[in-house]
Amino acid sequence: MRDIKNIDLNLLKALDALLDERSVTRAAERLSLTQPAMSGMLTRLRESFNDPLFVRSQRGVVPTQRALELAAPVKQVLAEIAVLLTPVEFDPLTAKMTLSIAATDYALQAVAVPFVLELKKRAPNIRVALLPIENESLHAQLERGDLQLVLLSPANSPPDLHARRLFDEEYVCVMRDGHPAAKKPLTLDEFCRLEHALFSYNGGCFSGATDEALAKIGRERQVMLSVKSFLVMSNIVRASNLISVVPKRLVEHLEGLSMQETPLPVEGYTLVAAWHERTHKDPALRWVRNLLFELFITD
């Protein structure tokens, strides 16, 4: 065929059948076509290759030298296309790939760390890149394939991505072990009197969900530290008399911190995993997502 843009795979299948069967009738039966339809495809093949390809004989058709030269390449092309269209089986024990996950500082601690530990047990050769979320370029990164998965809140997830809820998070109040206020449940007055450290997703913010809850009842607290890194904030709280309201999953297994319920209801939030359509049906990435769901979705 002189122009690859005009290649019709059905014509290649017809040529392959004609070469095998040496009969227009039998080739048509093999491809579930009518004899006129097969004859029409033979005409198109002759035009495309600028060669008769087959000449009539008493027992059917005889291939020309050009048709015989095409026999092996055509079978190879059709076989390679069949491989492309065959679903790929994913074996986590032998798979080698790089998985790039973007997440907030919270999600890296609460989700990515336990997920990576389990992933290494089941798929030891998969490399993982844990990256911060860049809101401005997030969708483009997923579209290009630079990211395969992102962990974030539904409100921050681009609307045209696939997404699935992992869990709902709740807030608790933490302070260092041995803090004077750790001996009994916090009252609202004491909570507002004590100095607080606040984890700020965007950095530099001194108000959050807790302050919104307090404002609704006409109260406020003393936020004396705003920090973008949860690790830094937890270390400071562990070494000072600052207290902090944080997502429960971040602190429930940390040593050196005492955890209490907040003295007023603070609205939690939902964490989702999101991914682009380009990776939606990929067998390897589907397996990765299913592992994530297995670990964190409980209902």
Question: What predicted TM-score, i.e. pTM, was given to this entire model?
Answer: 0.68
HEC letters along the chain = CCCHHHCCHHHHHHHHHHHHHCCHHHHHHHCCCCHHHHHHHHHHHHHHHCCCCEEEECCEEEECHHHHHHHHHHHHHHHHHHHHHCCCCCCCCCCCEEEEEEECHHHHHHHHHHHHHHHHHHCCCEEEEEEECCHHHHHHHHHHCCCCEEEECHHHCCCCCEEEEEEEECEEEEEECCCHHHHCCCCHHHHHHCEEEEECCCCCCCCCHHHHHHHHCCCCCEEEEEECCHHHHHHHHHCCCCEEEEEHHHHCCCCCEEEECCCCCCCCEEEEEEECHHHCCCHHHHHHHHHHHHHHCCC
Cβ 151 vs Cβ 101: under 8 Å: yes
Output the six-digit token pair for 230.
Answer: 């949860």
171-267 folds as D-Maltodextrin-Binding Protein; domain 2 (3.40.190)
CATH class of 4-85: mainly alpha
Class of domain 97-168+270-296: alpha beta
- pLDDT score at 7: 66
Q: What pLDDT score does 86 carry?
A: 62
Quick one: pLDDT at residue 1? 46
Is the pLDDT assigned to residue 244 strictly greater than 70? Answer: yes
pLDDT of residue 85: 72
Mean pLDDT, rounded, for 110-122: 93
Mean pLDDT, the chain, whole residue set: 90
| Residue 291 pLDDT | 96
Q: For residue range 21-61, what is the model confidence (pLDDT) as tens digits? A: 999 999 999 999 999 999 999 999 998 889 999 999 888 89
State what percent of residues in the chain have pLDDT above 70. Answer: 96
**What pLDDT, in 10s, does the model give residues 67-86?**
999 988 998 888 788 767 76
- Tell me the average pLDDT across 104-116: 88
For the chain, give every residue range classified as CATH 3.40.190.10: 97-168+270-296, 171-267
CA–CA distance, 276 with 274 (Å, rounded to integer)? 7
Q: How many residues does the chain have?
A: 299
**Both structure tokens of 234:** 């937890």
